[in-house]
Amino acid sequence: MTQPIPALIDIGINLTHDSFATDRDAVIARARLVGVEQMIITGASAQGSVQAIELARTDRRHLFATAGVHPHHATELDSQVLAQLESLARQPEVVAVGECGLDYFRDFSPRDVQQRALHQQLQLAARVGKPVFLHERDAHADFVSILREHRASLVGGVAHCFTGTADQLQRYLQLDLAIGITGWICDERRGAHLLPLMRDIPEGKLHLETDAPYLQPRDLVPRPDSRRNEPMHLRHIAAVVARARGETLEQLCATATAASRALFKLPVDPEPQALSR
């Protein structure tokens, strides 16, 4: 007999990345076969956001996009680009503003420029009434300070690829942010501290993402020949998170998928995949 595979939503995938150029359709098909029904394609620059939207338009029930400027590209966010970004953010395929935030780990853009770009994109998200897809690395204090200024005007947001401490998690939850968990949690070298924190994330605030092609889970068995991450590995990440929370995979998939559909206002897939059992 066949039963529906528990639906999953990958809320953060860099599907326009060059590494997917030759087999993007196959990558999407592999993900769908294991229950990844919908994917949100990350826009990290003005041009990248255009590309994400164009790709989302090829399959409006299963692919969606964000529109934003990553802190690495913050120097690009002048008045003209900001106006373009607002036009993009209002497109129906766009479900969030971002990826935006602060990154003091690499400092590819000056910190004051990063901060200004974050302020501008939070204001933009408030104007268009869409949640924010947030990036923070080694900048927690400034990041939280800026978010507090704008939080009341935002409809919601997710701390993408959370890798922080218990205290940082609580600060995000106090700001009523959702939490995005990636394959970082599968890395015994740097992600093991996340496992006990999974029980601290309330139901309805936990979202799943691959951040593919980055962050391939290190504990995949057998290990893939390629280091490229794919959305089909979201099911493996979900299983790790479910074990850490003391839940079944079905329970975790149901709550995480419902949370993502609610935050990003995604439609229900009318044709879920089925799995022989």
- pTM exceeds 0.85: yes
Nearest C-alpha neighbor of 19 from the set 176, 223, 228, 225: 228
pLDDT digits (tens, 9 = 90+) for 179-203: 999 999 999 999 999 999 999 999 9
Bridge-based pairing state of the strands 2-4 and 274-276: antiparallel
**Residue 68: pLDDT over 80:** yes
Determine the number of helices (DSSP H) and then strands (DSSP E) in the chain.
Answer: 8, 10
Instruction: Determine if the peptide bond prior to 6 is cis (ω within 30°).
Output: no
Q: Given this model, what pLDDT does residue 1 score?
A: 45
Cβ neighbours around 1 below 10 Å, total: 5
Structural domains present in the chain: 2-276 (3.20.20.140)
Q: Given this model, what pLDDT does residue 270 score?
A: 58
Element containing residue 101 per DSSP (H, E): strand 94-103
The radius of gyration of the chain from alpha carbons, rounded to an integer in Å, stands at: 18
Distance CA 69, CA 48 (A): 9
Instruction: Determine if the peptide bond prior to 231 is cis (ω within 30°).
Output: no
User: Position of tokens 């766009």?
Assistant: 94
Of 3-7, 110-114, 117-121, 155-159, the poorest mean pLDDT is in 3-7
